[in-house]
A and B are shown apart, each in its own frame.
Chain A
Amino acid sequence: MRDRLLKVLNKVTTEPLNIGDEDSLFESGLLDSFALPDLVSGLEEEFSFKVPDSDLNPRKFDSIARIESYLSEHAKV
């Protein structure tokens, strides 16, 4: 799962990923407000699932660890 997640993240970030699992993707500048929808749709495509509107909360996708946690609960991994 991790490799597939990093593949999606590398597609939507403007700079190479060089960040700790718990670090904020937004505060680090790797993700901005327009890369975030691309990240969500990329995850949906890669993991063949749909993030419901009620889960479209930036905090759920703020770090690699949080995304991994969300995917392990909701996606087909």
Chain B
Amino acid sequence: MTAPSYIHAFGAHLPERVVTNAELATLLSCTAEWIESVSGIRERRWAGEETVADLATAAARDCLRKSGVDASQVGLLIVSSGSAERRFPGPASTVASALGLNQTPVLDLPIASAGSIFGLSLASRLASAYGDVLVIAAEKMSAVIQSATLDQNTAILFGDGAGAALVSSRPGRLEVLDSVLHTDGAYRDDLTLDWGSPLRMNGLTVILQAARKLPTVIGEVLKRQNIEAKDVTQFVMHQANQNLIVRVAKALGVDAALMFSNVSMYGNTSSASMLIAASEWEPSPGPVVFAGFGAGFNWGALVARSV
């Protein structure tokens, strides 16, 4: 790492409407039990009128409140979303405006599920130049899955929500020790969302690659810091699917209980999931690992420790 950076707080916003497996099962000609068995998901949230920027702004405000930081102090705003309503500008400029920022630079990351880990890693490296960096990830996946006839393979998985983190060079709650990001465009067609088309996912390839690349990149960042996986006190990952989370734990040789999980309550909220999970996680002494994987394929991991 270059200059030290710190995560001061996380925040989140979840829409009020709860969509249970039972409700989805009636639409998809399957059972609620089957949905839970293949995904570990019991329910998810669907936004109604709220836009991606609305979700993002609410999570940003929650994070700023927990940080004790006024929006005017933010030096850079990074917003990740793969489900934004417009091709451009992305939601970052709308969020900045809603927060009352009219000079602060913003950056959109339209890379879907790995957006949180990319945003967090970039923020940790840019904080020394920009000051406080507010990272937000927001997704309205309900609009994506309802844009065409509901597909059983994807409709059961996704939910809406937003998460946020404030990263700064000022000492704070968690010190970022290191991070690693990777992209392999050979798999760019295995998980896609084109304008006007339904989400397409080659689930076999996505899971096969994620099950390999997530433990590998976690091992890579830990090795750079001479930390053993067994010494990590918590793993906070992209909440894609409980079955995947458990397999990553097995590959790392750690107890699955160390993998923070709230996927049963919110489903896969794509890029938002890791920061939503982080906002519900209670830090404990020792190293914590954040990790994500998604379309592209993009993947990465970040290790931090409580201060």
| Residues of chain A at the chain B interface (Cβ within 8 Å) | 26, 32-34, 36-38, 40-41, 53-54, 56-58
Contact = CB atoms under 8 A, between A and B. Distances in A.
Given A26-B204, A57-B205, A58-B204, A34 B247 contact: yes
B73 interface: no
Contacts, number: 40
A41 B39 CA distance: 21
A56 B209 contact: yes
A40 B212 CA distance: 10
A52 B82 CA distance: 29
Interface string B179-195: 00000101000000000
A33 B209 contact: no
B251 A41 contact: yes
B208 interface: yes
A41 to B, nearest CB: 7
A37 B205 contact: no
A32 B247 CA distance: 14
Interface in B190-227: 202-209, 211-213, 216
B213 A53 contact: yes
Give chain B's interface residue range (CB within 8 Å of chain A): 10 to 19
Contact of A33 (B184, B208, B216, B251): B208
Given A33-B203, A34-B207, A58-B204, A53 B244 contact: no
A53 B243 contact: no
B248 to A, nearest CB: 10
**A-B residue pairs, 6 tightest by C-beta:** A37-B211, A58-B204, A33-B207, A33-B203, A34-B243, A56-B208
A53 B186 CA distance: 11
Given A36-B208, A56-B212, 15 more contacts: A33-B204, A34-B38, A34-B207, A34-B243, A34-B244, A37-B207, A37-B208, A37-B211, A38-B247, A41-B251, A53-B213, A57-B205, A58-B202, A58-B204, A58-B205
A41 B216 CA distance: 14
Nearest to A61: B208
Interface in B8-32: none
A40 B186 CA distance: 20
Contact of B207 (A36, A53, A54): A36
B217 to A, nearest CB: 11
Nearest to B201: A33
A42 to B, nearest CB: 12
A32 to B, nearest CB: 8
Q: Which of A33, A34, A57 is most buried by chain B, counting CB atoms within 10 A of its CB?
A: A33
Q: Which of B186, B202, B213, B243 has the most CB of A within 10 A?
A: B243
Nearest to B186: A54
A37 B247 CA distance: 9
Nearest to A56: B208
A41 B204 CA distance: 15
Interface in B215-266: 216, 243-244, 247, 251
26 contacts: A26-B204, A33-B203, A33-B204, A33-B206, A34-B207, A34-B243, A36-B204, A36-B207, A36-B208, A37-B211, A37-B212, A38-B247, A40-B208, A40-B212, A41-B251, A53-B184, A53-B209, A53-B212, A53-B213, A54-B186, A56-B205, A56-B208, A56-B209, A57-B205, A57-B208, A58-B202
